[in-house]
């Protein structure tokens, strides 16, 4: 209960500060973004150490690229573009209302709540904070209870670089997170599973708090007949086994034309051997934290084995001294839709590979399932690319690679349907955390006085009505 009252007190302090300065200047917003970037750049070694402590082992390069670099790039891009984003946008009024003027004025919402996950505990907390601060808001972050070292570092550095009424971090367990989601924020962003996302939405609904959900789902990778198999295998392998598969936009399963299935499986084996020549003992291969999470993954694989699926192990399980473990990259060939590995988001190092008749069958399969957070397609066929854009739905689409759309700060990032709602990053994030306020400025010489009673029926002909 103490934590609940503390969170409410922090919210009250931030709202009071916001009401005293409801439209921060460009200089103030840029200063906040600069401090956030400095916080990340100066302490990148501590960030890497804290994350590795929380997960058992995280490849240092993965933290530098996926956590540190993305935050620095996002802050730099936003600072550079912010002046233009803040400008009111003129809108046409139509000849009947001339010489009146209209514009859209982007107004800060107030206090933004952010609930961040454990898989990328640094970047998925600070990237939405960048957008919220750019839009002129105050920010409260509730990081995952499953990354205590990173959360503690985040709270300590936030208190050092920001006043609590600007930005603060609320530590605590799942109960604290539940109360946090029920606070009357002006907007709440949640990143995590669809199951918890539903709970967050229900809690926020009591206050009519708008919610942005960044979830996940089963993101497919399609390998067409004209694809370069080695290049496709290389890029799918990178996207899948970055962070041991614990990436919400990781390829969750692959569909390749059946005639090329065996060649693709061999290409995947070659790429994994090239990436991790020491197998799971490689410093570049990350661990899977949490006994419950590992148990869920092991059940998926055990069930697939029991149902006769061909399993291709690309390494061996490695137990870590702290009780954690590295689970090896593993290919599961042609599992049925009834298996858990095909019903659930995997969020780990297993990769189902399905042989399909052709890309028509692959597209039909995508259309029949829940809308994923990302869709990957390997093809140079312009007509096929256009079909995928027009006939499928997903949060994002990448051709001939995986993941890298998330590294483009000018692109919106978000899901659709089961994979989430709303988007942020760059200008999309600025607008997500702003109110697009309609402004109409009437002229002293306005003709609308002719439209007041007593009504003149001849005006209907003039107005084309």
Q: Which three-class secondary structure state does DSSP give residue 214?
A: strand
Query: In 3-state terms, the chain is what percent helix, strand and coil (to 5)?
Result: 50, 20, 35
Is residue 248 annotated as a catalytic residue, yes or no? yes
In DSSP notation, 84-98 reads: HHHSPEEE---GGGT
């929380």: which residue's tokens? 54
Separation CA 132–CA 268 (nearest Å): 40
Find the catalytic residue in 214, 234, 257, 345: 214
Structure tokens at 419: 């994979």
Q: Which three-class secondary structure state does DSSP give residue 116?
A: coil
Strand partners, 356: 257
Cis check for the bond before 364: say yes or no (omega within 30 of 0): no
Find the catalytic residue in 248, 257, 345, 418: 248
Furthest C-alpha separation in the chain: 88
Q: Which three-class secondary structure state does DSSP give residue 115?
A: strand
| Angle, helix 194-205 to helix 174-181, in steps of 10 degrees | 50
The answer to whether 191 and 181 have CB atoms below 8 angstroms apart is no
Query: 45: Cβ–Cβ under 8 A, 6 or more apart, which residues?
Result: none
Separation CA 377–CA 223 (nearest Å): 6
Burial of 424 (0-12, 13-18, 19+ CB in 10 A): buried
The answer to whether 170 and 7 have CB atoms below 8 angstroms apart is yes
In DSSP notation, 226-288 reads: TS-HHHHHHHHHHHHHGGGG--TTS--EEEEEGGGHHHHHHHHHHHHHHH-TTGGGSTTS--B
Give the chain's count of helices (H) and strands (E). 17, 20
Structure tokens at 250: 């990781």
Residues identified as active-site: 214, 248
């Amino acid at each position: 209960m103490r934590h609940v009252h503390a969170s409410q007190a922090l919210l009250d302090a931030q709202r009071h500060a916001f009401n005293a300065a409801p439209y921060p200047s460009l200089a103030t917003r840029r200063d906040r973004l600069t401090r956030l970037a400095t916080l990340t750049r100066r302490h990148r070694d501590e960030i890497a150490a804290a994350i590795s402590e929380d997960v058992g082992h995280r490849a240092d390069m993965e933290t530098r690229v996926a956590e540190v670099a993305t935050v620095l790039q996002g802050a730099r891009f936003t600072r550079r573009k912010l002046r233009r984003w803040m400008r009111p946008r003129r809108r046409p009024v139509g000849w009947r209302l001339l010489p009146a003027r209209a514009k859209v004025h982007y107004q800060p919402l107030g206090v933004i709540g952010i609930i961040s996950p454990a898989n990328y505990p640094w970047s998925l907390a600070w990237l939405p904070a960048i957008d919220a601060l750019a839009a002129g808001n105050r920010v409260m972050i509730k990081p995952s209870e499953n990354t205590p070292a990173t959360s503690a570092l985040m709270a300590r550095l936030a208190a050092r670089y920001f006043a609590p009424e600007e930005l603060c971090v609320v530590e605590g367990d799942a109960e604290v997170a539940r109360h946090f989601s029920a606070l009357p924020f002006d907007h709440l962003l949640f990143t995590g599973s669809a199951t918890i996302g539903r709970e967050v939405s229900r809690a926020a609904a009591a206050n009519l708090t708008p919610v942005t959900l960044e979830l996940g789902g089963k993101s497919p990778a399609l390998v067409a007949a004209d694809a370069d198999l080695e290049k496709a295998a290389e890029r799918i392998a990178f996207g899948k086994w970055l962070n041991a598969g614990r990436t919400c936009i990781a390829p969750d399963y692959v569909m390749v034309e059946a005639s090329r299935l065996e060649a693709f499986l061999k290409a995947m084996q070659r790429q994994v051997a090239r990436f991790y020549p020491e197998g799971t003992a490689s410093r570049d291969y990350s661990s899977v934290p949490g006994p419950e999470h590992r148990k869920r993954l092991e059940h998926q694989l055990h069930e697939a084995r029991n149902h006769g699926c061909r399993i291709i192990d690309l390494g061996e399980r490695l137990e870590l001294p702290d009780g954690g473990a590295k689970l090896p990259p593993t290919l599961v060939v042609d599992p049925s839709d009834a298996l858990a590995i095909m019903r659930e988001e995997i969020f780990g190092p297993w990769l189902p590979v399905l042989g399909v008749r052709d890309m028509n069958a692959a597209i039909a399969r995508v259309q029949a399932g829940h809308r994923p957070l990302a869709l990957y397609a390997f093809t140079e066929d312009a007509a096929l690319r256009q079909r995928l854009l027009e006939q499928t739905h997903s949060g994002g689409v990448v051709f001939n690679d995986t993941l890298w759309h998330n590294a483009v700060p000018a692109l919106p990032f978000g899901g659709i349907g089961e994979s989430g709602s709303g988007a942020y990053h760059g200008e999309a994030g600025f607008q997500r955390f702003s109110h697009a306020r309609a402004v109409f400025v009437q002229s002293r010489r306005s003709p609308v006085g002719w439209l007041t009673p007593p009504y003149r029926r001849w005006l209907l002909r003039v107005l084309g009505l």
